[in-house]
Amino acid sequence: MSKTPFESATIGGIKVKNRIFRSATHESTALPGGGVSKAMTDMYQDLTQGEVGLIITGYMSFSKEDNPTASTVLIGDDAAVPGLKALTETVHQGGGRIVTQLAHVGSQLTHPPTGAIFAPSDVVDPVNGIKPEPFSREQIQTLVKEFGDAAVRAKAAGFDGVQIHGAHGYLVSKFLSPEFNLREDEYGGTPEKNVRVAVDILKEIKARCGADYPVWIKMNCSDFGRENRGFAFEGALVAAKALDDAGIDAIELSGGTFAGEHTPCRSRKHGAYHLEYAKQLTREIDTPVILVGGIREIEVIEKILGDTDIEAISLSRPLIREPGLVGRWKDGDRSKAACVACNGCFNPTGCVCFFTLEGEARAAQKHRLEQFFWKK
Ligand SMILES: Cc1cc2nc3c(=O)[nH]c(=O)nc-3n(C[C@H](O)[C@H](O)[C@H](O)COP(=O)(O)O)c2cc1C
């Protein structure tokens, strides 16, 4: 307790200059073939200059059996390492820290697939109506190894750690969910078995990268499924305790999917919307907890860090609108983040704040948003 935002600390095995992080934010700017673009490097340079304590990258894809978007950065081949190394060096030279998020989309595609679509079980994905093929046990073992391979590349590229994407309806969170994981083998059927894949991935990364290499996970406090189906806080506690026991270095607590009662990116009516779950989680585990979702005010951050055992705060949309927000607060301009949580930054042609778009680009993005986020 009694922590402050702008003090240095070691969190989840990483020494950081402050406790305000950038949560994973898919950049949608990868080069054809999955390389790091100048737009992405510029974004990360701006965030580093903007005093962000640690950046978690947008999710990167690596599995031969995944269907990432064409604009996703790929880390499935050693050839990716030099480009990623240039990115980590940019951040390190500016005094920042950078963790890469490793993900498998599973069945939650919002774009045309490039191959077969796999998930824990053949349950139709409510986001797109796709009925996936269930993973075989051998495919799961391959997936675990692929996570390890990707983490080895991340370490070689200079990332300060990796984060397993276990939230928001992507593959690992589908394994956690009793609604989507109907398996009857060692990978599903009880909350303890549903977390097995995540624990195996953690152990594989530690075995391959060394016990000291920081491995974090982003997971949901609840999927907030309609009619309360699926993964809820009781399951999240079981999963978090298993990961705590297995040596995870930090848990970033999020919530929701793109099909449930709440998405991970709620409107501005909602503030710090996973806070009560995160507070409860800190009482149950020793692993540091990082809180994300709807945090917009420095006073709120000070109160959370001062009054609870939550170790750090992470922000996504506010830093798209204002990459210099953390530095602004630090320098004494304490006004609220300018982001209005419109979700206009979900842009397949490149993640930028909606309010920076003009002309045809703005009209096209408005049209896209009216089909999904602004429809509700
Ligand atoms: C454009 C955009 C891309 C995102 N990409 C990712 C991602 O790659 N991985 C992830 O775990 N969360 C992703 N998120 C979710 C954010 O990390 C965060 O959990 C959510 O936006 C709530 O935080 P906020 O209120 O500070 O924006 C994304 C959010 C946005 C707006």
CATH number, domain with residue 70: 3.20.20.70
Ligand 1 neighbours (beta carbon < 6 A): 23-26, 58-59, 101, 165, 167-168, 218, 254, 264-265, 292-295, 315-318, 345-346, 351
Q: Are 202 and 215 in contact (CB under 8 A)?
A: yes
Same domain, 151 and 215: yes
Q: For ligand 1, atom 9, name the residue with the nearest CA.
A: 24
Q: What is the pTM of this model?
A: 0.97
- Whether 288 maps to a domain, the answer reads yes
Gyration radius from the chain CA atoms: 19
- Residue to mutate, 316, 321, 347, 368, ligand 1, most ligand atoms under 8 Å from C-beta: 316
CA distances in angstroms from 300 to 268, 273, 304, listed in the order given: 15, 12, 6
Same domain, 311 and 375: no
Q: In ligand 1, which atom is closest to the CA atom of 165? A: 11
Task: Output the pLDDT for position 376.
Answer: 53
Same domain, 356 and 235: no
- Whether 227 maps to a domain, the answer reads yes
Location of structure tokens 């930090």: 250
Same domain, 228 and 352: no
- Whether 2 maps to a domain, the answer reads no
Nearest to 204 by CA among 168, 246, 235: 246
Same domain, 145 and 196: yes
Residue numbers of the domain that contains 314: 9-341
Task: Output the pLDDT for position 55.
Answer: 98
In DSSP terms, 314 is beta-bridged to: 21, 292
Same domain, 131 and 20: yes
- Whether 223 maps to a domain, the answer reads yes
- Residue to mutate, 25, 55, 277, ligand 1, most ligand atoms under 8 Å from C-beta: 25
Task: Output the pLDDT for position 201.
Answer: 98
Q: In ligand 1, which atom is closest to the CA atom of 163? A: 11
- Whether 98 maps to a domain, the answer reads yes
Q: Based on the structure, what is the number of domains in the chain? A: 2
Q: How far is the CA of 25 from the centre of ligand 1 (A)?
A: 5
- Collapse the DSSP code of 155 into the 3-class scheme (helix H, G, I; strand E, B; otherwise coil) and give the result: helix
Pairing type for strands 9-11 and 14-16 reads antiparallel
Nearest to 175 by CA among 152, 149, 201: 201
Mean pLDDT per 10-residue segment, the chain (376 residues): 93 98 97 97 98 98 94 97 98 98 95 92 95 97 98 98 98 97 97 98 98 98 87 98 98 95 94 98 98 98 98 98 98 98 92 93 90 71
Q: How far is the CA of 38 from the centre of ligand 1 (A)?
A: 21
φ and ψ of 354, to 5 deg: -55, -35
Q: How far is the CA of 189 from the centre of ligand 1 (A)?
A: 29
Q: How far is the CA of 203 from the centre of ligand 1 (A)?
A: 26
Same domain, 365 and 281: no
